[in-house]
Copies of this chain bind each other. A is one copy, B any other.
Amino acid sequence: MNLSHPLSGVIARCRRLLDPALREAVSVLHPWGGRMAAFAMGWSDADGRSHGGDGGKSVRPAIAMLSAEAVGAPAESALPGAVAVELVHAFSLVHDDIIDHDERRRHREALWKAYGVGPALLAGDALLALAVSQLAGRPEAMKYLSAALIELVQGQTADMAFENRPWRGANEVTVEEYTEMAAGKTGGLLGASAAAGVALGGAPELADRMWDMGRDLGVAFQIVDDMLGIWGDPSVTGKPVHSDLRRDKKTFPVLAALATDGPAARELSAVLVDGITDERSARQAAHLVEEAGGRAAAQALADRYVASALNIMDECLPDATDLRALCDSLVNRVN
């Protein structure tokens, strides 16, 4: 999201509430675990020195806190939920980077690259344990965090299983399978953020609808992520370019391009079957995905899912201006 945007003030306000609570949650860890956690959260370098980094964009905690405000509660009421979803997000990035062998994250080394696979795995587990402890006594919010954890691992498992499936033919990955995977992998935690926010804010009756809202938003968010992985600027996203293409990740733009079945799709199919092994073939594939209409189809589907999410929000929380703007901004982000 563009931080020169009017939303930057809203985000900054949420961050001022979040940061001390997040640091306090992490402070209980073993010193070594605490150093890894601080690195994973973007607060310090691998040698433990603070570098004034401000971590990620904290979209999920902001959704939790703005959801509480939208039902008339102070943002603080959602703080345990906000801390929990940010910790789960950090946990998932740490484990994802190990699973995907991604060496870079947020313009730095991935945690496993800096500390080793075993320690990083354990640091991820610690972040998850801390997340659960935030809501252990709050079943009305824990219910959604727990559901999000299951969705997350199910979505990640599906995503990983897709890598071993063919691009075309009887066992090809369908758009329906993709959206289910994205709703789980990315949508569950966004849904838990919003649902925990309204539940902790005193309106648990809205939580199921906000969960659905978050899952729709997650599909849109994941499609945009896929697009940034192909056409994004690595100096902005902080991720290596074309890594999804190189590892046969079944991203939506590619699936949509292949489904058009025109000349560009057939050429793309041949390139993918040969395997993307160098920058030249990756650039060629990216070009063919766009030529076949995969980029436009991805943008259109992302827009549709955002519209669906915003519809739910307009029904449940018609006056939630900041929350609405934040969710809307997630499909117009540059990193």
Q: Using a CB–CB distance below 8 Å, which chain A residues touch chain B?
A: 28-30, 32-33, 95, 98-101, 117-119, 121-122, 125-126, 128-130, 132-133, 136-139, 142-143, 145-147, 149-150, 152-154, 156-158, 160-161
The residue on B at minimum CB distance from A32 is: B161
Distance between Cα atoms of A328 and B117 in the complex (Å):
37
Residue pairs across A and B with Cβ atoms less than 8 A apart, 22 shown, are A30-B161, A33-B157, A95-B121, A95-B125, A98-B117, A98-B121, A101-B118, A118-B160, A119-B160, A125-B156, A126-B153, A126-B157, A128-B128, A128-B149, A129-B149, A129-B153, A132-B146, A132-B149, A133-B149, A136-B139, A136-B143, A142-B142
Copies in the complex: 2
Specify which of B118, B130, B145 is in contact with A100 (CB 8 Å cutoff): B118
Specify which of B30, B32, B126, B157 is in contact with A122 (CB 8 Å cutoff): B157
Q: If A117-B98, A122-B95 touch, does A30 touch B136 (CB 8 Å cutoff)?
A: no
Distance between Cα atoms of A122 and B149 in the complex (Å):
12
Across the interface, which residues of B come within 8 angstroms of A150, CB to CB? Answer: 28, 126, 129-130, 133
Across the interface, which residues of B come within 8 angstroms of A30, CB to CB? Answer: 154, 157-158, 161
Distance between Cα atoms of A32 and B157 in the complex (Å):
7
Q: If A98-B117, A117-B98, A132-B146 touch, does A153 touch B137 (CB 8 Å cutoff)?
A: no
Specify which of B28, B121, B130, B139 is in contact with A139 (CB 8 Å cutoff): B139
Are A137 and B130 in touch, CB under 8 angstroms? no
Distance in angstroms from A94 CB to nearest chain B CB is 10
Across the interface, which residues of B come within 8 angstroms of A138, CB to CB? Answer: 139
Q: If A138-B139, A146-B136, A158-B30 touch, does A99 touch B128 (CB 8 Å cutoff)?
A: no
Distance in angstroms from A135 CB to nearest chain B CB is 9
Task: Sort A-B residue pairs by CB-CB distance and give the 10 closest, nearest first.
Answer: A99-B118, A129-B149, A136-B146, A126-B153, A30-B157, A33-B157, A133-B146, A136-B142, A129-B150, A137-B139
